[in-house]
Amino acid sequence: VPTSATAVPYPVWGWGAPGQEPTAAELAALRPLLTASLGPLAEPSWGGLPEATPSRVALPDSLAALGSSEPVDRARHALGRSYLDLIRGLSGEVGPLPDLVVRPQREADVEAVLDWASASGAAVVPFGGGTSVVGGVGPVPEAAERPLVSLDLALLSGLLELDRTSRAARFAGGTLGPAADGALKPFGLSIRFFPQSYERSTVGGWIATRAAGHYAARLQHVDDLVESVRACTPVGWWESRRLPGSGAGPSPDRMLLGSEGTLGVITDAWLRVQERPTSRASAAFLTPSFPAGADAVRRLVQAGLAPATCRLIDGAEAATTGSLPPGADAGSALLVLGAESAVGPVDAELAAAAELVQDAGARRLPDRSDAGGSSDAGAAWRDSFKAAPLLRERLVLLGVLVETFETAVTWDRFAALHAGVTAATEDALQAICGGGRVTCRLTHVYADGCAPYFTVLAPARPSAEAEQWRQIKAAASDAVLAAGGTITHHHAVGRDHAPWYRQQRPAVFAQAQDAVKQRLDPHDVLNPGLWAAGGMH
């Protein structure tokens, strides 16, 4: 456990707040469970914080107070939160570090930093919460010869305006999830957007990556919440008009959604907000198999029922989290449905959903309070969802290669995609790690398709983790595209998905994107090369 004075400090690579660091006792308790399913494990090798090379730039006097060249600060900004980032953090192979971390205090500072970078040749990576799992923040290999600035938006934070009549709120780009929701609470409102990284990710980051919250149906992506966006580009401000909808040409917001810091720095945005739910109900079911469960879910959404929570988890994954009932067949699947409302009881909605999935072959499970567990299947599911990032880093410390990847596909191709991707990834695990397991759940559901989310656990080889991960990622991503899926449903493109994104997007569209980039960022300041040549960092 990272206690050595030379080890990379937990805040650089870890998820939790101080006090949530993994302990030796926790790891010792987990190890036998893992070795029982994955075989012998070898812990990753620890390294120390690399010696920071001297900063290659100095900000002009007018901006100097915003910059930090402190080594731990720079190291934190060299990492996102992917498996690869965790391994880089643990091994101490973090570098190259950004030359400076710059924290604007006002939006005029953002403009001044971009002006300075355009004139001086520095590259700038916008940094929200740094929770990217796709190599979206961190080193920029394409700009290795140029000074690199991490533009951390943490100080541009807070609720800036609230329009209660239209039920919309304007947030500064660096606002973290809990700060955004907390600011609305006194008004009885909620952001109602809860990605698993909610506590550490920001409004600007969500928009830049087209993030999705945990609600399975209706208002899945942040796209659905965005009313207007204000961004600073190197050639001027980009601000869209607040509108509930518009048919006036292609939407300016759509171009910024998913732009991943390549076109502009999102300084604030108006988001549609929701009444805080006052009633909730949930229920858990067992379906005979994962495909059978998917079919039940399809019928549910196509019937117009859209439960807030609708997670279908395959038996092997449910067993890992302790949520599969004792004696249940490992080939079965767990379905958790939850309804919530701000205007009245939801029992009738849940009952209708329950009836429909039971007609489709699902069996309702008894309330867990009967067995001394949580009385609410939805609450139990939410607890394990929130704890997952902390569990992940404990697994990595014990020598487990942990990768998650997600896609979306229309229902007609779902079964083939699920089978094909699982088989291709399992084959890769066998060849590269000598074993391991691939599990799947559905995180989001639509009338015309769903978003399967795969989890990979395998024994990692110390010092070879990055190469093992690259090979597995490539095999899985090839299989996703071959089966007609998208390279990402909500984790974004980043450097890791770039080679497959380039295959997926139409060639003429790629030319249009390049032209937009050149027009808005003529000196290639913002996240240079993010989707271009290199691919995985």
**Binding residue (CB under 6 A) for ligand FAD from 38, 49, 78, 266:** 266
Give 17 or 419: the residue with its C-beta nearer to ligand FAD: 17
Q: What is the smallest separation between the CB atom of 430 and ligand FAD, expressed in angstroms?
A: 27
**Between residues 197 and 455, which has the closer beta carbon with respect to ligand FAD?**
197
Is 202 among the residues that bind ligand FAD (CB under 6 A)?
yes
Q: Which is nearer to ligand FAD, 116 or 453 (CB)?
A: 453
Determine how β-strand 168-172 pairs with β-strand 265-272.
antiparallel
Interface characters, 242-261, with ligand FAD (x: CB under 6 A): ------------------xx
Q: Which of 84, 114, 211, 409 binds ligand FAD (CB under 6 A)?
A: 211
Contact status: 492 vs ligand FAD (CB under 6 A): yes
- Looking at the Cβ atoms of 34 and 257, the one nearer to ligand FAD is 257
Report in angstroms how near the CB of residue 194 gets to ligand FAD at its nearest: 8
- Determine the Cα–Cα distance for residues 160 and 215; give it in Å rounded to an integer: 26
Q: How far apart are the first and last CA of the chain?
A: 26
Percentages (nearest 5) of helix, strand, coil residues in the chain: 35, 20, 40
- The span of 92-100, 246-254, 347-355, 488-496 binding ligand FAD (CB under 6 A) equals 488-496
Taking CB under 6 A as the binding criterion, the range among 17-25, 55-63, 197-205, 283-291 that sits at the site for ligand FAD is 197-205
- SS3 string, 15-71, reads CCCCCCCCCHHHHHHHHHHHHHHHCCCCCCCCCECCCCCCCCCCCCCCCHHHEECCH
Q: Segment contacting ligand FAD (CB under 6 A): 51-59, 195-203, 424-432, 460-468?
A: 195-203
What interhelical angle do 377-397 and 83-91 show, nearest 10? 40
The reply on whether position 135 binds ligand FAD by CB under 6 A is no
Among 196, 323, 407, 422, binds ligand FAD (CB under 6 A): 196
Q: How far apart are CA 528 and CA 525, in angstroms?
A: 6
- DSSP, collapsed to helix, strand or coil, labels residue 502 as helix
Distance of CA 117 to the CA centre of its chain: 29
By CB under 6 A, name the one of 98, 204, 436, 485 that touches ligand FAD.
Answer: 204
Residue 399 backbone dihedrals phi, psi, to 5 degrees: 100, 20
Nearer CB in complex with ligand FAD: 229/354: 229
Q: Which of 337, 479, 527, 528 lies at the binding interface for ligand FAD (CB under 6 A)?
A: 527
With contacts defined by CB under 6 A, name the span among 199-207, 295-303, 365-373, 504-512 that binds ligand FAD. 199-207
Written as six digits, the tokens of 186 are 């006194």
Give the pair of three-digit tokens for residue 268: 């604030």
Binding positions for ligand FAD, 92-131, rule CB under 6 A: 125-131
Identity of the residue, 89 or 350, whose beta carbon is nearer to ligand FAD in the bound complex: 89
Between 332 and 407, name the residue whose CB sits nearer to ligand FAD. Answer: 407
Considering beta carbons, is residue 177 or 399 the nearer one to ligand FAD?
177
Instruction: Give the closest residue to 447 by CA, choosing from 291, 351, 303.
Output: 303
Query: H or E element: which one contains 299?
Result: helix 290-302
Containing H/E element for 377?
helix 377-397
Residue 84 is a binding residue for ligand FAD (CB under 6 A): no
| Angle, in degrees to the nearest 10, between helices 377-397 and 24-38 | 90
Q: Which amino acid is at 348?
A: A
Residues that contact ligand FAD, how many (by CB under 6 A): 36
Picking from 277, 240, 271, the residue whose alpha carbon sits closest to that of residue 163 is 271
**Contact residues for ligand FAD (CB under 6 A)?**
80-81, 125-133, 136-137, 153, 173, 195-197, 201-202, 204-206, 208-209, 211-212, 260-261, 265-266, 389, 490-492, 527
